Structure formats: structure tokens, C-alpha cells
Structure 1
Amino acid sequence: MDVSFLGGPQPQCGVGVVAPFDFALDRELWRWVPDDVSLHLTRTPFVPVEVSLDLARLVSEHETLREAVQALSAVAPRVVSYACTSGSFVGGVAGERAMCAAMRQAGEMPSVTTSGALLDALCEIGARRIAVVTPYTKSVTDSLEDYLAEGGITVTGRAYLGLTRHIWKVPYRDVVDMARQAVVGAADALFISCTNLPTYDVIPQLEAELRMPVLSANQVTMWGALRAIGIHAVGPYQALLDPVARRGPAALSGTPEIPRHHRPEPEAAFAGPPAAPEAEQAEGLDAAPPFPDDPYEV
């Protein structure tokens, strides 16, 4: 059979991804990339530590990042991304910048992290007051809030699960419930943290219901990596990625864009009563009262 007419395979643009050893959502990352982009994933070495600030520090050590990027360099990606939220915010803004520098030096290519991409995405949509949802314990969630404050972002409300393992098993309904409880006050957007927390399919639903842009860790990771090489991420009905969605129910009310590292005047972040945790959870839900019974019409 003559197959010379096929002319393939189609040329691919490579995106390198360094993920923690317990990352389980490879397929979710692929949903944000166009057909002519290939993801090349590698993982950090296993360490017998549950999700915590200690683990975040271990999986973001510069030597670990350099070795991972050097391994990815064998397949010549055009950009490399570190896909871990806590690992890239645990050292603050300065720590995130140092991580990017270490990866750039190791691979001689553009490098981004989840938390760095988050600040860029918030600037892109002009959001400076946000609600936050995490699967983490209180201490890790507090560290995220500290990082955001360094980047000029105020947290108006938050909800967290207190999990230290098996985060990829959290169902969408739990993510939605947390989002409804976290969004209080005058928030410009909602951020769902952790690259191991499934979010792709809930983003359009939450944007329509909450009437604000919804960002997630994996979404901003892919958006930031692809933007660094001039490619648009794929995400129908997601305000960060879809201009039509940004003009729709998720549209902001004219909030101006701010410089990435401008620090606003301190404002009190909401901290509501905890919800009942699962048996394996170390800590409870720190969140706002339930969402009102009369949801927005879409």
C-alpha cells in the first residue's frame, strides 16, 4: 500500500512539563493545548512526604529542577513549565523568580511556573481581589495567601479541604461547593489552586454561576507556558482563554489592570467557620457561609 500521500506526521511544538512525583492529571493538561502541541512530562523523584510545606520545598529544590529540565532538553521543547502551585509559591515571589532562573539556565529556554503564571493571569484579567479554593491544609493555604499578598493580590475569601494525599480523587462537586463558600465580598475572580486538583469541566459552570472569571492551577500553567512561545491555550467558555467568555457572564465590572507586583493597601481577608472534614483530613474548611439560594440567572 502506497502511503506516500499522507505526508505526516504533523509537525509538533514541544512543551516540557516538570511535575511533582505524585501528579496524576496528565490528561487534564492535554485538554488545554491545541493539536499541534505535544506535552513532554517528567516527574521529580519520589520522597516519602505527604502534601505539606515540607514537600513543597523538597519538590522545588533547584538541583531537582535542573536535572528535570536537562532530561527534557533531550526532546527539544520550546518552553518548560514547572507544574506545581505550592512548590512555586512556598519561597515567595523571590523564590519563584529564582526557580525560573534555575530552569532557564539548565535548559536555555523560556521557563514558567504555576504560581508565576497565576500572577500574570490575574494581571491579564485585571483582578486584584480574589477568592481562593485549595485542597491543602491551613498552613499551605496561608502560604499561598502570603505569596498573593506579595504579588499585590488581596484574598477576600477562601475555602480549603485540609488534604495531605490523594488530591486527584477530589470530585468536581466538592470543588464547586468550596467555590460557592469562598466567594464573598467584592471579589474580581476565583482561583482554584493545586495542579493535582481536577478543574477543567467546572470552570465554565462556575463562571456562569458566580459571574466572574475562574482560574485554576493547571489552566494558568498551560496558558503561561504557551503564551511564552506565542501560542494560545484552548479552553472554550473560560474567560482567561476565550474572548467571548470574557465578555459574557464572567466579565469584570471595569476593574483596571495593575502592575504585577504592585502591593495594595492591606485589607482583611474573610475567614469563616470550618465545615466538617473527611476522616482522613487533617484540617477543616475555612470558608464563607453557603452561597445564596437565588443563584444568578445565566
Structure 2
Amino acid sequence: MEREIPAMLRAREAIRPERFSFHSARMRMKKVVKEELAAMDRDSDRCALELSDAAVDVMGYACLVAIMAMGPGYHRESQQRLYKVTEENGHPAPVVSSAGALVETLTGMGAKRIAMVAPYMKPLTQTVAEYVEAEGVEVKDYLALEIPDNLEVAAQDPMNLTEHYKRLDLKNIDALVLSACVQMPSLAAIPQVEAEAGVPVLSASVATTRQMLLELGLDPVVPGAGSLLA
């Protein structure tokens, strides 16, 4: 998120008048396992409080799987709780979670059946698939890259995804989620994969950017980020 969302907002600045500043507070997590994800989520209140000191206009909760590992529909509870933290601090700001952004974007675009790539181990990837399906979107196929180390996830070459996605069954899908994780880079690969696959291609970062722009009352338009933001 700290690389790709600012990159998309900078690209948008080339075609629209709005200008953005980016602020972050970090929840701790090293291994992408359920115990660390739960501890990470508990830390989110502190982060929301710190960021609200800066009177930001919108907040993005960056870890998709930390939310989804807490059970179906948890993004609604998390977003409401974190908003209340900002409200009590005197600087209310809408909160967009990458988990909520992904499912809301998929349902909003009318996607009924998808395929996705995730860096997580298979059990966590299955958890993500079940979370998405609980929101009414069938996950026809998924690829778990099984990378447990969070820093290794971030170090992936996004262009590797131009080959990884070919291992998925793309027949009769409505969209391809090229990275169901804001930590795994994918932005550079989205235009190429979309051109090859012939279906809308998005990522958790693209969906989060779109939802943040909508919360700001701005056109969700970003060049070079796929058809969803075209």
C-alpha cells in the first residue's frame, strides 16, 4: 500500500487538479500467520488514533488478510470501530479497509465469479476465498503462492504475475484479482494481464484506491491502473 497507492495518486495528479499527501502508521507483523494477524488487527486502533492527529480526510487499512482472518463480514465492524476512534479524537475520517474495498468493488462491478492470486499459504488463501464468497462472489479458482514472510511478499517482482495468472482457470469469470494482498506488488502487471486475459483485472490496492477516491468525492480515475480506474 505504501508504494502502490501513492503511485496511483501521483499518476492521477497528472490528469486531475487534486493533490494528495500520504501519511502512515504501522501495525506490527512479520510472519503472515493467524496469530500475528490477530495481534496486528488489535493494533489498528492505535494507528487510527495516531493518523487522526493529522486530520486526514480518509484512512486506508492496508492488510486484507488481517481483516478476513477475523471472520466473515469483519471489515464492517473494523471500519466502524476505527471511524469511532477518529471521531472521539475530534478529527472524524472515513475508514476504507482493503478487505472491504475488494468485496465492495467486486459486488459494485457486478462480478459474480472471479479467480485470484494471493501470496499467502493455502489455508489463509482459502480463508480469503471463503470471505469473498460470503459476500456473494464465487471464487472459481485461486493460486496460493505460499510465501510466509511478509518482507518476501513485498519483494516479489510484479511482472512474475504475468506468468502466475496463467495457472488459473479463467473460463467464465467476470474479473481476475491479480493480487488479493496490498503487500504483494502487482500494479505494473495489471495492464498487460488485462490485455491478455480479456477480463477486468484488479488488485486489492486498486480497489482500495478506488474506494478512497470515492470517499473523498473524487472521480475514481487513474491512468495505467486497469479498466476499473480508466
Q: Name the TM tier (shorter chain).
A: 0.7 to 0.9
How high is the TM-score relative to the length of structure 2? 0.87
In structure 2, the gaps of 5 or more residues are 14-18, 88-92
1:178-193 correspondence runs (5 A): 178-191=164-177, 192-193=179-180
Amino acid at match of 2:202: L
> How far 1:233 sits from its partner (Å)?
4.2
Q: What is the aligned-residue identity percentage?
A: 28
Q: Does 1:147 align with 2:131?
A: yes
In structure 1, the gaps of 5 or more residues are 1-24, 243-298
What secondary structure, in the 3-state scheme, does the structure 2 residue paired with 1:190 have? strand
Aligned to 2:24: 41
Aligned to 2:37: 56
Q: Does 1:201 align with 2:188?
A: yes
Amino acid at match of 1:170: Q
Q: Find the aligned partners of 1:183 and 1:206 in 2 and give their Cα distance.
A: 14
Q: Find the aligned partners of 1:184 and 1:234 in 2 and give their Cα distance.
A: 26
- C-alpha contact (below 8 Å) 1:81/1:111 kept by paired residues: yes
Q: Deviations over 1:238-281 (max 9, x none)?
A: 11111xxxxxxxxxxxxxxxxxxxxxxxxxxxxxxxxxxxxxxx
- C-alpha contact (below 8 Å) 1:172/1:202 kept by paired residues: yes
- C-alpha contact (below 8 Å) 1:92/1:146 kept by paired residues: no
Q: Deviations over 1:198-224 (max 9, x none)?
A: 111111111100001111111111111
What secondary structure, in the 3-state scheme, does the structure 2 residue paired with 1:51 have? coil
Q: Find the aligned partners of 2:227 and 2:111 in 1 and give their Cα distance.
A: 12
Aligned to 2:157: 171
Aligned length: 214
Q: Find the aligned partners of 1:153 and 1:124 in 2 and give their Cα distance.
A: 11
More helix by share: 2
Aligned to 1:294: none
Q: Find the aligned partners of 2:159 and 2:210 in 1 and give their Cα distance.
A: 25
- C-alpha contact (below 8 Å) 1:42/1:72 kept by paired residues: yes
Aligned to 2:94: 110
Q: Find the aligned partners of 1:74 and 1:206 in 2 and give their Cα distance.
A: 40
Q: Which runs of 4+ in 1 moved over 6 A?
A: none
Which residue among 120, 142, 146 is the counterpart of 1:136? 120
Q: Find the aligned partners of 1:213 and 1:136 in 2 and give their Cα distance.
A: 23
How high is the TM-score relative to the length of structure 1? 0.68
Q: Does 1:241 align with 2:216?
A: no
Cα distance change of structure 1 residues 134 and 123 upon mapping to structure 2, 3 Å threshold:
same
Cα distance change of structure 1 residues 71 and 140 upon mapping to structure 2, 3 Å threshold:
same
Amino acid at match of 1:198: P
Q: Find the aligned partners of 1:71 and 1:195 in 2 and give their Cα distance.
A: 21
Q: C-alpha root-mean-square deviation of aligned residues, in Å?
A: 1.5
> How far 1:234 sits from its partner (Å)?
4.5
